[in-house]
Each structure stands twice: as C-alpha cells, then as structure tokens.
Amino acid sequence: MSLARDMITLVAVSAGAFFFLAGTIGLLRFPDTLTRLHALTKADNLGLGLVVLGLLPQAASVRDALKLISVWLLALLAGATVSQLIARAAREARTTR
Amino acid sequence: MNIASTFELMLAAVVLGLGIWTIAVHETYSAAVGFVAYGLLVALIWVRLDAVDVALTEAAISGGLGGVLLLGAAARLRHAELMVAEVPDRLTRVSAAVLSVMTAAALVGAVLWLPDSAPTLAPEVVANAWATSLTNPVTNVLMAFRAMDTMLEKVVLLLAIIGVWSLAPDTAWGGRPGPRHRADPNGVLVFLARLLPPAGIAIAVYILWTGANHPGGAFQGGAILAAMWLLAVMAGLTDTPAVGRRWLRLILVAGPALFLVVGLGGLWFGTAFLAYPTAQAKPLIVVIEVAMIQTIAATLGLLLTGAPERSAKP
Amino acid sequence: MSGVNVFGLYAAAAVGLGLYGMITSPQPLRKIIAFNLLGSGVFLLFGVVGRRGAAAGIGNDPVPQALVITGVVVAFSATALAVALLLRLSEKASSTTLSSGPAGRAGSDPPGH
C-alpha cells in the first residue's frame, strides 16, 4: 500500500517538476511579456497542482490534505490576478510607446 | 554524499548565484525583484535548517513586505531625476573587495572551527516548558523566557514609525501616507482585494493561534494582516488613515503597553518583572499576543506606506 | 561536507557580498538591498549555530531562532526607515546621490513646505 502511495508521489511530483521546467524555459526563451506570462501559468496551474496531487497521499490527515489543496488554490488565485495585471500593464506600455 | 546534501549544496549554489546577480545587475528595479526571489529561497534554507518559525518570518516579512517596500521605492526612484550616479573608483572597489573577502574568510574560519559538541539551550527550554504549558519552544522563548527582548522590540518598531512619520513635510503633517490609489472597480485587482482579505485574516488568526504548539506566532500573523490591509489600500477600497488620529496611535501603543502592564504586574504580584504566575501563564500570553498582532500589523503596514504625503483635511 | 557547514559557508559569502555591495553600489537603494543581504547572511549564521545545537527532540536551538525572528522584524523596520529617508531626499534634492558637493546639496525647507 505504501509502495503504491510512493509511486503516485514520485510520478506526480516528477510530472510537476517537468512543468516547472517547461515554464522556466518559456520564461527565458519567449520573446515578450505576454508569451512569458503564458509559460508561467503552466508552471502555476499544472506544475504546482501536480506537485500537490503527488503530496496528497503522503499527508498525515484529511486536514493536512485540505491545507495542501488550499495552498494550491491560493497560489492559483494570486498567479492569475497578477498575470492579468502585468499583461494589462504590458499592453498599455506597448500602446504608449 | 546522499540526496539531502546534494540538494542543500545546489540550493546554496542557486542562492549564492542569485545574491551575486542582485548585487551586480545594472538596473535597480531588477535588483529589487532579485531580492524578493532571494528572500523566498532563503526561507527554503531555513526549512532545511529545521527552523520553520524563522522560515515563515523570513518569507513573510523580509521577502514579502520587504520586497514590496523595495519594489515601490525602485519604481518611484526610477522617475526621479538622477544625477549621474558615480561609480566608485578602482581603489575603493579593490579595497572593498579585499575587506569583503577578509570578512567572509574570517566567518568561514569561525564556522569551520565551531566546537564539535555544540553548546545548546534546547534542553533547558524543553525542561522549563511546564511554566507556560505551550509546546512550541520558539514561542516559549519569545513570549516567556526572553519576553523582555520581544517587548523592547515592540518599542523599536514604535521608534521606527516615529522616525518615518517625522519625515512628513509641513503641509502634510499628521496627514495620510502614500497616494490615493484608484483601480477599476470592476477590475481584477479589486476582485482580488475583495476575495483574499477574508481568507487572509482567517489564516493570520490561525497562525497566531497555532503558534502556541506548532510553528507560527504573532509576527507571522501580523505580517499577513498587514499584507491584506495593504492589498485593500492598493486596490483603492480603503484609504490610509491620517497618522494624527487617536485611535491609530492607540493601536500602535497597545502592544508594548499591555506587555509593560503585565510585566509590572509580575513585579508587584509575583517574583520578577515579566514573571507569569504558572496558572495564568497561557491566558496572559494569549492576551499579550492578541494585542501584539494588532500592533505588529498596524506598524508593518504603516512602515510600508511611508511618510505622510497628503494633508489630513479632506 | 555536511549540510549545515554548506549553509554556514554560504552565510559567510552572503556577508562578504552584502558588505561589498554596500560599499561600492552607486545608488543608495542598492546599498539598502545589499544591507539586507548582509543581514540575511548574519541571520543564517545564527541558524547554523542553532542547528548544531539540536537537542532534546527539537531540530534547532530555539534561543537563536527567537533572536533571528526579532532581528528580521528590526531589520525590516530599519529598511523601511532608510527607504523613507531616501524617498524624502529624492523629493527635496531631486537626486539620489549620497555624495556631498554641488550635486548633492539639498536646500533647506522654505517656510510652510
């Protein structure tokens, strides 16, 4: 039973790490702000979500699992809002140039 | 070399690279952004050092609030008319480098020559935990065994806020700090500022409450409360209070004043200054922490908004 | 090399880096950032000493931890005061150089300003 749990954790966290890697490569290689934001949201949603999913089997109790999920939801909320604000500022900067 | 020490080596290398980049980059704004990332990674180092309370404080206050402070200052100074910033001449740079290397080498020597059986106060702290019936040893030290330091630190925060307020120009004396922010009332920032603060306040109170037995405490909770208030201010949902208002000054003084009152009570009714009677230790500490978290939140928030810029009269 | 020593060496490097940044950075805000870097290195040294004092079932000696928590808050308030001074200086003198001389002379407040 614990072997199955560890396997789930390994697979999910590795997949999450892959998405973080993809997001970072996008951040470094994409040409402008809007495309970079697009890459970063992949790290936020999928990367963090998969890492949290992988850590859920290791959580000690249901309350700890709920705390992990709420961490993911709060990071999603903050990331989405800030991406919108940065994108708007980037668009305005571009139109006033 | 196992996985854990490989990870620690890589973490230290990444943080070192980030620190060098923060010092060496040309633009000040980039240095401020680098500092925010640096603060968060150093919090990871603190977790590896098994000091979770410090990791929370470092991430919230140094990385989070400190980052907002520096980013705001970098943005405002970008537009200021900068005279040509003089780069120090070669002699200054070389002697500064020599001094830094010597200091770092001395500290490296100190670290490597630390005594093998490390002196520690952990057994005493654990052995004396019966005096407060709290199980988080750091909270015990902060609120009971070294409560004097915490009380004096409150006073230091007050001094800092007095220093910042004293920088107000004559027309804005006793007025409101910072500009009046306005945001699109149907926009994303206002949405976040309506959605997040209730959750943030609940989380801050939870962190205060659970600091008795698990990592947490008044400082971390106060930082989160300050951040929620600043979010509402930045979205234009509320305005900064005029610093001359009596209720504001009462909140700022409440933390250290209550601490002092309890301390003097320990002197009169008990054995020493800040001595808690064992039966009432936990309630007293809880009461002090409730006053403390409000003072910390108000002080940190006001330190961030800066010196008054607008007159108090509307 | 144990993990604790790695962080101790990094803390020493951070102190050296922050000291260099404070002395040689041209803009005052960069000096403030370097000062924070220096402070974080000093706090990490405390943490390393505390980690070596792990005993009685806790992983890190609580007394240095409490000192560092106090120190982080005080460092933040010092940074806030320094930034407020810098912003006021930039308003008054319309430049942010710390050097004395024609560029850095700030005029005194005219009455009522």
Which residues in chain A have their CB less than 8 angstroms from residue B195's CB?
Answer: 77
Residue B9 covered by a domain: yes
Name the nearest CA neighbour of B144 among B53, B296, B263: B263
The total of structural domains in chain B comes to: 2
Mark whether B71 and B193 lie in a shared domain: no
- What the block records as the tokens of B280 is 């009432």
Distance from CA of C75 to the nearest CA of B (A): 8
Residue C108 covered by a domain: no
**Residue C25 is part of a domain; what is its CATH number?**
1.10.287.3510
Residue B66's pLDDT band, with cuts at 50, 70 and 90, is very high
Residue C77 covered by a domain: yes
Residue C110's pLDDT band, with cuts at 50, 70 and 90, is very low
Residue B180 covered by a domain: yes
Mark whether B128 and B258 lie in a shared domain: yes
d(CA B59, CA B235): 23
Range of the domain at B250: 122-314
Residue B96 covered by a domain: no
Mark whether B67 and B199 lie in a shared domain: no
Which residues in chain C have their CB less than 8 angstroms from residue B107's CB?
Answer: 11-12, 15-16, 45
Start-end of H helices in B113-245: 122-127, 137-140, 147-165, 188-210, 218-234
What would the pLDDT profile of C41-90 be if each residue is shown by its tens digit?
A: 999 999 999 998 888 788 889 999 999 999 999 999 999 999 999 999 88
Sign (positive/negative) of CA torsion B94, B95, B100, B105? positive
Mark whether B36 and B129 lie in a shared domain: no
Quote ipTM for the complex: 0.92
d(CA B263, CA B286): 14
The total of structural domains in chain C comes to: 1
Contacts of C23 (CB under 8 A, 6+ apart): B88, B92, B96, B99, B100
The answer to whether A and C touch (≥3 CB pairs < 8 Å) is no
Cβ of residue C98 closer than 8 Å to a chain B Cβ: no
Residue B106 covered by a domain: no
Domain ranges of chain A: 2-96
What would the pLDDT profile of B290-306 be if each residue is shown by its tens digit?
A: 999 999 999 999 999 98
Residue C55 covered by a domain: yes
Mark whether B170 and B305 lie in a shared domain: yes
pLDDT of residue C113: 41
Last residue of a domain, one of B78, B110, B132: B78
Sign (positive/negative) of CA torsion B125, B129, B135, B141? negative
Cβ of residue B9 closer than 8 Å to a chain C Cβ: yes
Mark whether B152 and B12 lie in a shared domain: no
CB-based contact A85 B189, cutoff 8 Å = yes
Asked if residue C106 has pLDDT above 60, the reply is no
